[in-house]
Amino acid sequence: MKVLVQRVLESKVEVDSKIVGQINKGFLLLVSFTYGDTSKEIDYMVDKILHLRIFDDENGVMNKSLLDIGGSILSVSQFTLYADTRKGRRPSYVNALNGETAKKLYDEFNQKLISSGIHIETGIFGTEMKVFLINDGPVTIMLEKESNSN
């Protein structure tokens, strides 16, 4: 499982020129799954994301979490995080989990974030989306958790 975390001042996602998700201060999450990912990887990621201390404290030091600042999350599915570009010029996506199984894990991931009490907005899985953001910092961090079966 991979999640690209972007600290944002605001972010939105559009489908067919309509806003389907929008937040102010918080995280834009680009989320991808691979073969062998389970609830165990999701639990790890949710905990890591909620407690990741990358917001500034009163001294300008990245020392506060999303929970500390009362931020929001915009979660967007992004299978291309598993692009393999080692050979040739066209990326291979063989490591990206198939749509039906990935959607189940993505829905579970979002439900666990929602159950934490954080305000969550999402894109629409499997659609062509336009994602807009104002990256704060910029701060962008890749989180990865390999399943034990890989």
Does the residue 150 lie in any domain? no
Distance of alpha carbon 37 from its chain centroid, rounded? Answer: 15
Catalytic residue numbers read 78-80
Q: What local confidence, expressed as pLDDT, does residue 150 receive?
A: 47
Does the residue 105 lie in any domain? yes
Q: What local confidence, expressed as pLDDT, does residue 149 receive?
A: 54
Does the residue 27 lie in any domain? yes
Domain count for the chain, please give it: 1
Does the residue 126 lie in any domain? yes
Taking the alpha carbons at both ends of the chain, their separation in whole angstroms is 11
Q: What local confidence, expressed as pLDDT, does residue 146 receive?
A: 85
Does the residue 149 lie in any domain? no
Q: What local confidence, expressed as pLDDT, does residue 3 receive?
A: 98
From first to last of its 150 residues, what are the pLDDT tens digits of the chain?
A: 999 999 999 999 999 999 999 999 999 999 999 999 999 999 999 999 999 999 999 999 999 999 999 999 999 999 999 999 999 999 999 999 988 999 999 999 999 999 999 999 999 999 999 999 999 999 999 999 987 754
Does the residue 115 lie in any domain? yes
Helix axes 39-51, 99-115, angle to 10 degrees: 40
Closest alpha carbon to 32 in 148, 149, 142: 142
What CATH number is attached to the domain comprising 13?
A: 3.50.80.10
Residue found under tokens 């972007």: 6
Q: What is the pTM of this model?
A: 0.95
Q: Which domain holds residue 106?
A: 2-144
